[in-house]
Amino acid sequence: MLFNMWYVAADLADISDKPTQAKVLGQKLVIFRAKDGSIACLSDICIHRGASLSAGKVVDGCVECPYHGWRYDGKGAVAKIPAQPPGAKIPQHARIDSYPVVVKYGWVWVFMGDLPEAERPPLPEFPEYDDPEWRMIRGEFIWQADYARVIENGLDFSHAPFVHPSFGDPNHAVIEDFEVESHEWGAKATVSYLPPMYKGIWKLLRRERTPVRASPSFHMSGGLMCLKVYITKDWTQIIYDVNTPVDENTTHTRWIHARNFMRSRFADKDAKRRVQAIFDQDAAVVERIQPQLLPVDLSEEISLKSDGLQIAYRRMRRSFIKKGWSIDVNYFKNQQDKKHARVVPSPERRREEHKNIHWVIPTVPVEDIAKQVREGQRVVIEEGQIH
Ligand code: FES
Ligand SMILES: [Fe+2]
């Protein structure tokens, strides 16, 4: 699981005057409104005796621990310790990790990592959002699967004929060559495929069985998978879905479906049912994939040219793993929640005035590919053969 990335931790609609608990990268977080009205996101572990802050309450723009009432401000500093006599000093290292937050597209995005602002990736654009030409519906889906496997499934065009009867036809499964256009944080492809005739009210959209163009893309921020389907020259549907790694085997997908046709709200139910059916069909396969976690090296599975967009995703992901941005999930499995708490480092740890303080909770262990190769646990073949 990659850190130093933005992930959606909550729906804006779920933020109230109480603390909200979220879980991202195997770590529990508490989200609440700070004094200035902005949304704050902190590690959910109180550094006094480990209570869960999200079970407390919001008082005066701070989150108050339910156990002994310590209060933490939006930056993670302890603002009040009720058991101390008046005038007693709050220890300098009484602070917890605070993660940057941005609200966009109705979601609370949290930067899980310690990069300074200028080095953080941007959020993926969604230009059709808020455009009255487009009708939007939204929903969510929980997978018992690795988020990288889930993202790849969205980028994978050759599974459609076999997994989605409404989308593809197993007798027309050939994928013509396509180009992958990459940028610093993602990539996009455009492919052509031959869906069967549509059923239900969508029959009106396409009266002849002609090929349809589609553009799947990904962005590392949010674990975004975006699919644009150009049903006809004028009619397009978009699925913009962000995939949050709750832990190594749970993915929380939040999606927005946009369409520039049949914009009446009476067609919403049908559109929602179609999106939901696609997720159900994918989950039946993706939740059973082995190994559960997406491999790091291309040589660990056989890839075809038609897997081009997934290969771009794997390569980009591997470049971030090499930078030391991947949590070693084996450690998490054995240790976390039992003996030692661990947290993703936050930008506050790099600030001059906080660099030398003792941070009570240590940071997550990082996957070290070079060490794994040295110790014979991994054979890295940088460029697996593409067939
Ligand atoms: S455990 Fe939180 S105040 Fe004691
Ligand atoms: Fe699918």
Q: Which domain holds residue 91?
A: 5-119
| Residue 186, φ and ψ in degrees, nearest 5 | -175, -170
Residues 114 and 139 in one domain: no
Task: Tell me whether the omega of the peptide bond preceding residue 291 falls within 30 degrees of 0, making it cis.
Answer: yes
Inside any domain, residue 325:
no
- Residue 335: per-residue pLDDT: 62
Residues 181 and 110 in one domain: no
- Residue 387: per-residue pLDDT: 82
Instruction: Using alpha carbons, select from 364, 351, 327 the residue that is nearest to residue 77.
Output: 351
CATH of the domain at 250: 3.90.380.10
**Total of domains in the chain:** 2
- Residue 274: per-residue pLDDT: 92
Residues 179 and 300 in one domain: yes
Inside any domain, residue 261:
yes
If one residue of 53, 67, 78 were mutated to test the ligand 1 pocket, choosing by the most ligand atoms within 8 A of its CB, it would be 67
Q: Is 65 in the pocket of ligand 1 (CB under 6 A)?
A: yes
Residues 174 and 264 in one domain: yes
250 Cα–ligand 1 center, Å? 29
- Residue 219: per-residue pLDDT: 98
- Residue 383: per-residue pLDDT: 62
Inside any domain, residue 240:
yes
360 Cα–ligand 1 center, Å? 14
Task: Kindly give the number of the ligand 1 atom that is closest to the alpha carbon of 50.
Answer: 1
Inside any domain, residue 177:
yes
Q: Mean pLDDT of residues grouped by 10 in the chain (387 residues)?
A: 98 96 97 96 98 98 98 97 94 95 98 97 95 96 98 95 87 90 97 82 75 94 96 93 96 97 92 95 98 89 92 95 91 69 94 87 90 76 70
pTM: 0.95
- Residue 337: per-residue pLDDT: 61
- Residue 183: per-residue pLDDT: 96
Task: Kindly give the number of the ligand 1 atom that is closest to the alpha carbon of 49.
Answer: 1
- Residue 169: per-residue pLDDT: 84
- Residue 8: per-residue pLDDT: 98
- Residue 254: per-residue pLDDT: 98
- Residue 299: per-residue pLDDT: 83
Q: How far is CA 234 from CA 195, 259, 260, in A?
A: 17, 11, 8
How far apart are the C-alpha atoms of 310 and 304, rounded to whole Å?
10
Q: Which of 300, 316, 332 is the last residue of a domain?
A: 316
- Residue 119: per-residue pLDDT: 96
CATH of the domain at 103: 2.102.10.10
How far apart are the C-alpha atoms of 289 and 145, rounded to whole Å?
8
- Residue 336: per-residue pLDDT: 58
186 Cα–ligand 1 center, Å? 42
